Amino acid sequence: MFVKMPERGMVKSRLALSVGKDTALDLYKCFVSDIIGTLTGGGYPLAIFFHPPESRQRVVQWLGDEHTLFPQAGDDLGERMKNAFKTVFSQGLRSALLIGSDSPDLPNQIIDEALISLKDHDVVLGPSYDGGYYLIGFRADTFLPQVFDGIVWSTPAVFKQTLDVLKKTNPRFHILPKWRDIDTFDDLKALYLKNRDTPFAESETIKYMENNRYGSCEHE
């Protein structure tokens, strides 16, 4: 899992345009807590790659020391993701998934589908509604570092460009259901409306929204 050290004005900048930097910071912390809760509750071995790399001590103060922590290494997002896979595969893992911290309601069923798909596929990819992807995974023996090269990150073309690379290299790939990254106020509203009557209604994210009246979408 990739996380950023939560600092005011440094996380969820697009969301902050609508809700303010303090609320965006609080929500980001909720997102991370909810995703970690899902992953640990599902029994998945979890490694957290944090950024910036010099923030280890602050990350430990934030998330505790019960998780395996690695600094993200690389000059851009693609290089950092590539290096994260290299790190975990060098430790003997036979398959691995990488997810970000923007989809707090991502359920265990999606994680399970992704892991199961790697039994007979080389790559698994989860497209997000904004044109990127929320999850990517490989087996150690089918890792394709080139899928992180030449991608224009943080644009609506990320998923398509990645898929083009996969098609050219001709691996067996599995595409997961689309899921929503929470980057804007509209995304936040959609998250709430989708999850009012689901188990995620008990999440830190939804509780924070309701306690701060964001569930009624009054702040816009």
**What phi, psi does 106 have (nearest 5°)?**
-60, 120
Contact 140, 89 (CB under 8 A): yes
Q: How far apart are CA 154 and CA 195, in angstroms?
A: 26
97-114 pLDDT, tens digit per residue, is 999 999 999 999 999 999
- Map residue 112 onto helix, strand or coil: helix
- Cα–Cα distances in angstroms (integers) from residue 76 to residues 15, 143, 177, in the given order: 22, 19, 27
36-56 pLDDT, tens digit per residue, is 999 999 999 999 999 999 999
pTM above 0.85, yes or no: yes
Say which residues have a Cβ less than 8 Å from residue 49's Cβ, sequence separation at least 6.
Answer: 1, 2, 3, 69, 70, 71, 72, 80, 84, 87
Angle at 189 between CA 35 and CA 4, to 5 degrees: 35
Contact 7, 80 (CB under 8 A): no
**From first to last of its 220 residues, what are the pLDDT tens digits of the chain?**
999 999 999 999 999 999 999 999 999 999 999 999 999 999 999 999 999 999 999 999 999 999 999 999 999 999 999 999 999 999 999 999 999 999 999 999 999 999 999 999 999 999 999 999 999 999 999 999 999 999 999 999 999 999 999 999 988 999 999 999 999 999 999 999 999 889 999 999 999 999 987 654 444 4
Q: How far is the first Cα of the chain from the last one, in angstroms, to the nearest whole number?
A: 30
Quote the mean pLDDT of the chain. 94
Contact 32, 3 (CB under 8 A): yes
The CATH code of the domain at 2-210 is 3.90.550.10
